[in-house]
Amino acid sequence: LNKIYRLVKLHGDLVVWGTHELIAEVGPSIAALWRDGDASATERVGKAMLDRARVLTRHGMVASIKTRTELLNEGRAAAVLEWLNTAAKSCDPLCHRVSSSISGPDHLVPLLRSDLKLPRKITAAWHSLLLTLLAVPNFKADLADAYCDTYRSVTAEYARGVGTLDRSGYTLSVQFLNRVTYVQDLVRERDLLGTLGRSLLETLAVAAAPVGPS
């Protein structure tokens, strides 16, 4: 388990059961029928996938089943974010343009809520882009608001084992929490202290809950 943990921490996503293992388990005949769209074979292959995912989740790991298309789309998404970051770094007008296109709760809130669940490729590019855009004061203020609005829900998931601290975009909070003006606005308009206090209490409640069969 320690070896798996180190690999996941290093690479972010770890494929523990791929196409070759799938074909080996169900056999070449079932695999051929599955590729042809046979309903019975598809059901059998799907059951095999779910059974393996349940083994991982039963031991406290977060598992996902991805298609090849999804893996390709993840790579494309990371490439787009890296391109936006390069554009934003090139000059101040483009930096302001990129920041204005993703500012506000409609974009930042859902992205921060899913931060701990995103693949490593995407989070690395996303956090790098955020760090670049934090040079824009208006964007920094919007990110601070989104941070406060999503803090409890993200912290609750983290307390239950979702995500790792060193891959969280919330480590960027030091960029605005060390500024008196931003903190005062968050305390006054978004009850920052109350949010932090309630999140701490909920996290301690999770930690105090018994683990395993009673």
User: What tens digit of pLDDT does each residue of 28-65 get?
Assistant: 888 888 888 888 888 888 888 888 888 877 876 777 78
Cα(135)–Cα(144) distance, integer angstroms: 13
**Comparison of pLDDT for 46 and 7, the residue scoring more:** 46
Amino acid at 14: L
What does residue 166 show for φ and ψ, rounded to 5 degrees?
Answer: -75, -10
Q: Give the chain's mean pLDDT.
A: 84
Give the per-residue pLDDT at 97.
94
Cα(150)–Cα(109) distance, integer angstroms: 7
Tell whether pTM > 0.75: no
Q: What is the pLDDT of residues 160-203, one digit of tens each?
A: 777 766 667 777 888 888 888 888 989 999 898 999 999 999 98
3-state secondary structure the chain: CHHHHHHHHHHCCCCCCCHHHHHHHHCHHHHHHHHCCCHHHHHHHHHHHHHHHHHHHHCCCCCCCCCHHHHHHHHHHHHHHHHHHHHHHHCHHHHHHHHHHHCCHHHHHHHHHCHHHCCHHHHHHHHHHHHHHCCCHHHHHHHHHHHHHHHHHHHHHHHCCCCCHHHCHHHHHHHHHCCHHHHHHHHHHHCHHHHHHHHHHHHHHHHHCCCCCC
**Comparison of pLDDT for 67 and 107, the residue scoring more:** 107
Cα(60)–Cα(117) distance, integer angstroms: 15
